[in-house]
Structure 1
Amino acid sequence: VHRVRTPGPTPHHSPISSPTAVPQQSPSSLAVPEAPPARPRPSDGEPVSRRITSRHLFAAFTNASERTLYLYGSDDGVHFHDLAPAAYTPANGILRDPSVIHRAGRWWIAHTTAWEGGTFGIISSEDRLNWRHVADIEHGVPCHNTWAPEFFTEHPDGRPRIIVSISAGQTSATGFQPYVLTALDDTLTRWTDPVPLDGLHPDEADHRNGWIDTCVVHEDGRFHAFVKDATAERVEHAVARHITGPWNLLDDAAPVPPNGEHLEGQTVFRLDGGGFRMFLDSYLEGRHYWSDSPDLTTWTPPREIPRLSGTVRHGSVWRETADLLPGDTNPVLPGYHADPAVLHSAGRFWMYPTTDGVADWGSTSFGVFSSTDLVHWSDHGTVLDLADIDWAEGRAWAPAVVERDGAHWMYFCADQQIGVARADSPTGPFVDALGKPLITRDAYGHQAIDPAVLVSADGTAHLYFGQGRCRVVRLGADMTSFDGEPVDITPAGYNEAPDVFEREGRYYLTWSENDTRSPDYRVAWAVADHPMGPFTRASAPLLTKDPERWIMGTGHQAVVRVPGRDEWYLAYHRFARPGGDGTHREVCLDRLRFTVDGRLRPVTPTLRGIDPIAPVEG
């Protein structure tokens, strides 16, 4: 899973060409318990549907720092989680009023670079976590100030624009007028000369300070500008047929929160299903508000943004929708899930994932989904709740489920310890088999998480586990005790998520490298002639990211075999698309293939996914 607070101990790696031998344990006879009475087959569950999902990226600076970019993510555009705190600080100057878009496979932010001067800045990122300076744009207009460059991407010609507030008054911070610049190419480093917005100019009577913070929306053939009157300290609504004007002020001003005035930093974005949402910065009060409108003219009473009000200042929101195409099967489950484990039992495939999207990986229960074809899945609800485990409270992570002698055994993480539970059906309920952890926290000097169990063709069972180090131990016939001591088999590059499968007499160990919060989270593999090793590491990864399609953080894998056939698949999680991160992940399936000499071919992560498999006999 996951949550690497500190790296594990530095592995002592053996050369790939001559792996260190691991003592093999002699097989012991396994007592075969009586078969339980026949049970009804599980129900088909409730079919799940994947919906096209929109997510929201909020870029802002904060009350604590005008030099640092903060990024937040949200599914509903109101409740935000930290995505990249302190994501970027420029080498020089400030970073205020960030305006964010996604274009040409990258995220771009325009921002104010100084209180005074004639430039604004552009930065960019492939993953929203690592940002680089692209350019400081000199607009060429004689001025005192250049504030709040706002991206506008809804022009009918498709070319991105920036609308920036430029002060040419007699003194600093007076006489602001919005100007529009149009990008000349996708580098966003070359722009047209600025053109003033006709009708939004300062005057000595009512608007001597002019107009700042201009957010524009194109709707019903008209351009709508929400712009701050810097003299009256309120946000006004203006419309025009052309982006450069002439602009006409309407009587319906923007929504006004209870404190009345001193509003700025407004940003407007579209909602799923229609309508609009506006964020407003009440800068004197230090609060941030949101309000909704069906038509850009009538607005709901403003409410404070939960958790962020009092922290964030002027920013912008980019809403992005997953580009699912007809026939795409990834992700295979709706919502946020991670760390999939897959079992075939009772004529169906059963997937047991971690429930994701919970702060600090704080999930408290395990559910299960089933499928007959690996594409169409049904939800069977909760199969184990930590509320029923005396020794566990939270952090329900990375289950592994196997069937042996008619019983189903779940090995699971809770509070960074490993437990084991038993059930007569793949749908549970799973009951704690020991009343205590099977492996306690730090029993072996590393995190006791990420169990995986292999039941070999000869009936022996082995448990693999660990973050920072990888260990394996043979399980007793009762599946709740050890036959010997755990052996360290940590391969080079190992972080977590071991998974082992057997094919044609060889044993394949797969694992995840790097931190699950990193876009570079990936899967590696090794092979051995015995389930306890020694394992020889492959030089190339099995699965890694595809930045061009924003498939990031691909890892915590499970290998799936279709019973009776040499047909294999790889289940794994990735950052949810769009807008996901290391706590907002989704589960995918792609085909796994072998070379003629038994090596694993690299798996390409796809949006397309897989086709439904042919029915499994028996």
Structure 2
Amino acid sequence: MNNSIYLSLKKLSFLLLISLLVACSHSSEKGYYSSFIPGELWFDTDSVHINAHGGGILFHEGVYYWFGEFKTAGRGGNTALVGVQVYSSTDLYNWKNEGTALEVVDVVGHDIERGSVIERPKVLYNKKTGKFVMWFHLELKGQGYSAARTAVAVADHVTGPYVFIESLRPNAGHWPMNFEQEFKELTETIDDYEWWTPDWEEAVHKGLFIRRDFEGGQMARDMTLFLDDDGTAYHIFSSEENLTLHIAELSEDFLSHTGRYTRIFPVGHNEAPAVFKHNGLYYMIASGCTGWEPNAARSFVAEDVFGPWTALGNPCVGAGAEITFESQSTFVLPVQGKEGAFIYMGDRWRPRNPIDGRYVWLPIVFKNDRPIIEWYDEWDLSIFDK
């Protein structure tokens, strides 16, 4: 063989080897990651892209459990054709598929019939009952997003199987704790107003939809759960046609609502809430309402979980901040063993092919008691040691 050709082939082989090594370092062909790469395909230990969208994480007995929506390919992939998937990890980088925690059912008319919409599942462990409790946003099959319900399921084991209990609109027959008496006595209905006018917005602020839904329960869409230090659990969700956030207390067994709830930022158009606590203060990250398209995140702070809450502005900084780095919030994860370390968990939605949705995990740092999220092409947990 010509010496120059031999050298060229040897150089090409070397370059291919280097490329392969780089590629493997960013995949889990051998089930191993040592960093986060936001927005890229994230493979589980079986080398399959993680399928846990709109997720939340429970830390239990030294293990992280990631629950999320199982998506499928094509435009129908946002409906629940499988259920809620769960993964486990001890280091947050590498995730093992533990299977389907909550399965849809093939019973016509059932609340979680195959083809319904199951979104943003979150799980808490109840120390008093020893049960694992899952709440999620539910839309009934074939009804679009008109049902606006929340649903609860329970399990004896963290990975399931979770048994569906019921779906409902919460807090039927209860007024918000911060609802003025004069608002309860108003008699106007939605038929008295033209939507999206200043008069209509003022009427919504004064509880137009609260009164409409008082008997049947309040609408509940995008949601999260939050467990406070004293063991009290809260359900936070978008209500009132996605115009107002509600913060509702759960019962001691986490299986129902107590009727104690507040509404925050009426007509604020907030969804995708994620709540966490730092240095005795409650923080929330949320998004605007622009469908599947990303928008600028919002952040809020309060001294009490029920409020009042104060707006802090967009927590994201730098290039891409105006669209939250092409993501929408789903959860804020406290990193165990690292005081004050939190991870922003967001989704990059792919409505035309939902199974290809990506995850954007980024570190949260605090500056002047404000949460700040900055983009990193790649990062690891050592960032919290700085």
- Shorter-chain TM range is 0.5 to 0.7
Alignment partners' CA distance in 1, 2:36 and 2:349: 17
Q: Deviations over 1:273-319 (max 9, x none)?
A: xxxxxxxxxxxxxxxxxxxxxxxxxxxxxxxxxxxxxxxxxxxxxxx
Aligned residues: 285
Local SS of the residue matching 1:483:
strand
Query: Are the aligned partners of 1:551 and 1:574 in contact in 2 as well (CA < 8 Å)?
Result: no
Alignment partners' CA distance in 1, 2:289 and 2:356: 17
Show structure 2 runs of 5+ residues with no match.
Answer: 1-22, 27-34, 44-48, 140-147, 173-208
Q: Deviations over 1:104-153 (max 9, x none)?
A: xxxxxxxxxxxxxxxxxxxxxxxxxxxxxxxxxxxxxxxxxxxxxxxxxx
Local SS of the residue matching 2:276:
strand
Q: Deviations over 1:348-386 (max 9, x none)?
A: 111112223553521241001111111111111100012
For the pair 1:363 / 2:80, whether they are aligned, the reply is: yes
RMSD: 3.5
Query: Are the aligned partners of 1:339 and 1:353 in contact in 2 as well (CA < 8 Å)?
Result: yes
**Partner letter of residue 379 of structure 1?**
N
Residue in structure 1 matching 2:92, options 341, 363, 374: 374
Residues 543/369 of structure 1: CA separation in 2 closer, same or farther (3 Å cut): farther
Local SS of the residue matching 1:387:
coil
Alignment partners' CA distance in 2, 1:575 and 1:557: 12
**Partner letter of residue 61 of structure 2?**
A
**Partner letter of residue 131 of structure 2?**
A
**Partner letter of residue 531 of structure 1?**
V
Alignment partners' CA distance in 2, 1:363 and 1:464: 22
Percentage identity across paired residues of the two chains: 23
Shift of 1:492: 7.1
Residue 169 of structure 1 is matched in structure 2 by none
**1:69-148 matches, cutoff 5 A:** none
Residue in structure 1 matching 2:168, options 426, 432, 437: 437
For the pair 1:486 / 2:268, whether they are aligned, the reply is: no
**Partner letter of residue 455 of structure 1?**
L
Shift of 1:493: 4.6
Show structure 1 runs of 5+ residues with no match.
Answer: 1-322
Alignment partners' CA distance in 2, 1:473 and 1:544: 34
**1:385-396 matches, cutoff 5 A:** 385-387=103-105, 390-393=110-113, 394-396=116-118
Shift of 1:469: 1.9
Query: Are the aligned partners of 2:226 and 2:235 in contact in 1 as well (CA < 8 Å)?
Result: yes
Q: Deviations over 1:407-431 (max 9, x none)?
A: 2110012214211111122201111
Residue in structure 2 matching 1:455, options 222, 227, 238: 227
Residue in structure 1 matching 2:332, options 538, 547, 559: 559
For the pair 1:600 / 2:371, whether they are aligned, the reply is: yes
Alignment partners' CA distance in 1, 2:70 and 2:375: 21
Local SS of the residue matching 1:366:
strand
Residues 594/552 of structure 1: CA separation in 2 closer, same or farther (3 Å cut): closer
Residue 10 of structure 1 is matched in structure 2 by none
Shift of 1:399: 0.5
**1:234-245 matches, cutoff 5 A:** none
**Partner letter of residue 608 of structure 1?**
E
Residue in structure 2 matching 1:420, options 128, 132, 152: 152
Local SS of the residue matching 1:400:
strand
4+ long deviations beyond 6 Å: 579-583
Local SS of the residue matching 1:381:
strand
Query: Are the aligned partners of 2:102 and 2:161 in contact in 1 as well (CA < 8 Å)?
Result: yes
Residues 417/611 of structure 1: CA separation in 2 closer, same or farther (3 Å cut): same
Alignment partners' CA distance in 2, 1:510 and 1:551: 11
**Partner letter of residue 559 of structure 1?**
V
583-592 vs 444-453, which deviates more? Answer: 444-453
Between Structure 1 and Structure 2, the one with more helix by share is 2
Local SS of the residue matching 1:517:
coil
Residue in structure 1 matching 2:134, options 387, 399, 410: 410
**Partner letter of residue 536 of structure 1?**
T
Shift of 1:452: 1.5
Residues 512/324 of structure 1: CA separation in 2 closer, same or farther (3 Å cut): farther
Between Structure 1 and Structure 2, the one with more strand by share is 1
**Partner letter of residue 313 of structure 2?**
S
TM-score normalised to structure 1 length: 0.42
Residue 29 of structure 1 is matched in structure 2 by none
Residues 455/552 of structure 1: CA separation in 2 closer, same or farther (3 Å cut): closer
Shift of 1:543: 7.1
Shift of 1:489: 1.0
For the pair 1:397 / 2:171, whether they are aligned, the reply is: no
Residue 144 of structure 2 is matched in structure 1 by none
Residue 37 of structure 2 is matched in structure 1 by 329
Residues 336/456 of structure 1: CA separation in 2 closer, same or farther (3 Å cut): closer
TM-score normalised to structure 2 length: 0.64
Shift of 1:402: 1.1
Residue 246 of structure 2 is matched in structure 1 by 471
